[in-house]
Structure 1
Amino acid sequence: MEKKPSLLKGTIWNTLGSTMYGANSFIMLALVSRVGTVDQAGYFGIAFTTAQILYIVGLFGVNTYQMTDYQEKYCFSDYAKGRIFSCALMLVGGLLSIFLLDFTGEKSVYLCILTVLMLLNAVGELYQSLFFQKNRLDLSGSALFYRTFWSLFAFVVVLLTTGNILLSIIVQTAVNLVVTLYYALRVAPKFISKTAAPLRHGAVALMMECLPLFLSMFLMNILINASKYGIEFLMDDTAQGYYNMLFMPAQVINLCSQFVFKPLLNRYASLFAEKQDKEAIFLLIKQIALVLGFTLICCVAAFILGPEVLGLLYSKDLSAFRLALVLVVLGGGVFACCQLFYYVFVILRRQKWVLGIYLGASAAAFIFTAALVGTLGIVGAALSFILIHLVILAAYAFLLRLFLRGRHHA
């Protein structure tokens, strides 16, 4: 085994990989918006959003568990078998989505190809999580970076050359396949233990243990995008195109929170394992403060120059959406804080609690989205995004306090 790299090197690669992955959807939507019409941006945006939710089905909540399975309760073959099952489920989900969402024409074609692309990302994540689990954050980050970079590069070149969105996605998918195979066949084998699985039928046990995580992540992504689906059902494709353009900065906020949090997952696991709860909570509070501070700066920037900057990027006039943009950015910060709590609950192995939070929030999401999108349009969609995640954040904070108090008095 190679000598373990420094934490700094791992952090840098994790940052580069996360940045590239986060920029991927931003760049794709920006180019589609520039090359196509607002309606086409709407078609592509809702298809891409649905494919990303199907990606969660492909992960089945196993990736987060695998990354933090430092004691290797399950062997790699268990994770691989589980991924085969979840990817098959993902393909079935893609077909069902076309019918349930009544996608036709360009939307259905985009969804089919993008689902295959996301399936490859789910396979790639299996190996990236393996590297992370083995404390090779550098390899995990670099694999994510190169897989995303080369496939995105192919998309950009083909789209700018031909102006054909569908052809660009097909070529992007083919390149993604090649790079994913490289990491699966050339890099990963030396990290895979040859010992037998510690549990009989380990893959089944693994999937059952991760089922609450999967359902939580699935509901989480439905809730993240509830405002988009509200627009899909209550407004038109033009509104969908504009809202998808405005929504991108929220993903940037969450991306930055991952830079702050992911490199310290092992630190959290150690602190909670040693019952150093005060130190863990202090670390969490510091990271939340950093995220919120960054969010406020972004809100000010979005108010002053946001529509103009995004307008130049997308080659569309967004001047009428200044308030909606600020609200979306604020919602992105609240969502990022929810993500931090999510990782903490996974480390504490409180998957069922997370599921309970998102089940409860689903009812609130339906009410907020239907009422606000129906009355305020795009601004209402942004408001519903904020309110949904404030409910989730409050539930996380309450249950974490309850858990720690109970452990302290036990």
Structure 2
Amino acid sequence: MQFEHTEKVKTLIARLEAFFEEHIYPNEQAVSEFVRGREGKARWEPIPIVESLKPKARAAGLWNMFLPHSDSGAGLTNLEYSPLCEIMGRVGWSGEVFNCSAPDTGNMEILDRFASAANKERWLKPLLNGEIRSAFCMTEPAVASSDATNISTRIERDGDSYVINGRKWWSSGAGDTRCEILVVMGKSNPDAPKHQQQSQILVPMKTPGVKVLRQLPVFGFDDAPHGHSEIVFENVRVPADNILLGEGRGFEIAQARLGPGRIHHCMRNIGVAERVLEKTCKRLLSRVAFGKPIADQSIWLERIANCRVQIDQARLLVLNAADKMDRLGNKAARREIAMIKVAAPAMLNFVVDWAIQAHGAAGVTTDFGLGHVAASARTMRIVDGPDEVHRNQIGKMELEKYKPAKQ
């Protein structure tokens, strides 16, 4: 395995880091204060500072970097994109500046791969241009959605249309006033084989019968203007051409989407952890307790060392998964993807917990942003499949090595 960055990637890293120094870090405090200062419906409107930076990012050639093997993006592989995604993870809102934020990244990938020419023109093109936003509707409140075969939202054919009925939640991105398209997963044929019952379909946000019930808080944070919506679909009718790839192909599309989505989450987790460890070290060096800097207390040396070890371990696991995805495909790399989805959130939870401890009472305020990081980090152990599902998959694949060969 060779993880040395190519000259192309080194150039992009340098360009991205320069952009952060000039435009992202200097605006970080202003964006935080602006978001905290808004109330009511205004919270879901675009952030002017973020919008003003997008043309600069495009001009710098830092746009749609996530799309691999596509004329619409930078043509980077997963391995090449990894360090760039990590950098963007250092500031939570920065991904949108480069049109590289979830869930749009995953939605654009499946539209690029599976949508009809007409739907690409109608939805993919404005998404790639950053003109609209999107959401992915899979999880449901009434069932254990970690087992996607439980999903009960119905997608039923009626002439030249499909009619959709059901309830979704944690449809991240649907709170944004620019969200115009939903990718909805539901059951189109309950009598088909287990993994051919589901389909995915495009539902314009303004279709009659689409009702946003509420924005769900994550440990008290509503993540405006992004949002995590609970949505009801009541006799929602869309053209039959809105089905992606065909009836019964929902699981196939989900796997194509969730593989890159999971690795992107883990890449960002590493960037977040690096930033949190940086804050921790600066805090420990600047605070004096019992006559000397806190950094001189030996227990903190051990804690810092453990954070560094875990971050670097997670990074190597992510690079390994990215490399295998590029060379052998998402299916062949499913064990490695499952491993990083367990390891990276666990690492981030560990790092941010000690960061809060290092900051003392200040760690539980909003002053250093650690509370929001902690909430997001804990949520990551559930997002895109809970730890238990991924551990089960890893365990089963490990046991398969030692089972007697079938005669």
TM-score normalized by structure 2? Answer: 0.27
Structure with higher RCO (Cα < 8 A, 6+ apart):
1
Flag the structure with higher strand content. Answer: 2
TM-score normalized by structure 1? Answer: 0.27
Flag the structure with higher helix content. Answer: 1
